[in-house]
Structure 1
Amino acid sequence: MGLGMDAAERSAFVEQGHTGILTTLRRDGCPVTLPVWFAPIDGVIYVASPSGAAKVKRLERDDRCWFMVERGNAWTELAAVGFAARGRTLAPGDEAARAAAALADRYAAFRPADESLPAAMRTHYADQVIIRIEPVDEPLSWDNSKARLTGT
């Protein structure tokens, strides 16, 4: 029995994930991996970011990236879906608005009230862009809970 997930399982797994892992590339090719909140819509991942963030600049320079969602603590719980992608910032418009609304809805219960943030932080997050992360290859996936363990 394989540990991979089929397309429906992968889609559900990503949808249920809370925090994604986005890897972008520095100028010298060194990967930079960061946790991100995300909204999956029709097979595409959307992430909001301050417009001046380094990840935005890295994607403008080199749009290659990797996105992954994972879960589990014990070995038998470990599972993940990851894929190579191209990332780009969206111009304001319908797609960006739809993604921003999906992100706001998805994480509403987890955000602090804007007025509770320090002024510098409110300023930092005021100018947001939406990043579109589109898969370019078949995803990798595994779910160790599918393993048939013996002697347990």
Structure 2
Amino acid sequence: MLRELTPEVRSFLETATWPGVLSTLGPGGAPITSAVWFGFLEGDVIISTPAGRPKARNARNDSRVSFIVDTKDRPYRGVAIEGEAEVLEDHGKALMRSIAMRYLGPELPPEMEERIALRDRVVLGIRPRKVRPWNLA
């Protein structure tokens, strides 16, 4: 069952400009964790990654993932999500450009444009099943 996101969680995910942490399940079932840039689109967390990276392979083999993003300043707060990742072959480069602009601003450096252009990319769309906002204030 999909989890409805509260307005506070939506706002947090829409405005966060610090990396999140994605965990996928590796071939032996062990969690594989990666720091990632992310976006938020139509209720899904979206991550663009080169097509051959372990996170893309792992999500194809087992769609169960977890994702967490938090603040780096007091009061510490964040959102932890468990969900299903869908690997989307189309739009990886366009979404990566959009995600990069979220972190770097509207004028991307030439090296980032090159990095985006040189690799085949996929998008991981994470549908939240469990959502746990937290606050350590």
TM-score range, shorter chain: 0.7 to 0.9
How has the CA–CA distance of structure 1 residues 19 and 115 changed in structure 2, closer, same or farther, with 3 Å as cutoff? closer
More strand, by proportion: 2
Moved over 2 A (4+): 96-102, 107-117, 122-125
> TM-score, with normalisation over the residues of structure 2?
0.79
* % identical equivalent positions: 25
Unaligned 5+ segments in structure 2 are none
Which of these two proteins has the greater Rg computed from alpha carbons?
1
Cα displacement (A) at 1:73? 5.1
* SS of corresponding position for 1:136: strand
Aligned residues: 131
Cα displacement (A) at 1:112? 4.4
Partner of 1:16: 15
**Mapped contact 2:89–2:121 kept (Cα < 8 A):** no
Structure 2 CA distance for aligned equivalents of residues 127 and 97 of structure 1 = 8
Structure 2 CA distance for aligned equivalents of residues 21 and 106 of structure 1 = 17
Structure 2 CA distance for aligned equivalents of residues 9 and 36 of structure 1 = 22
Unaligned 5+ segments in structure 1 are 1-5, 146-152
Partner of 1:106: 102
Alignment of 1:55-94 (within 5 A): 55-72=55-72, 77-92=75-90
More helix, by proportion: 1
What amino acid does structure 1 have at the position aligned with 2:80? Answer: G
1:35 equivalent to 2:25? Answer no
Structure 1 CA distance for aligned equivalents of residues 87 and 50 of structure 2 = 11
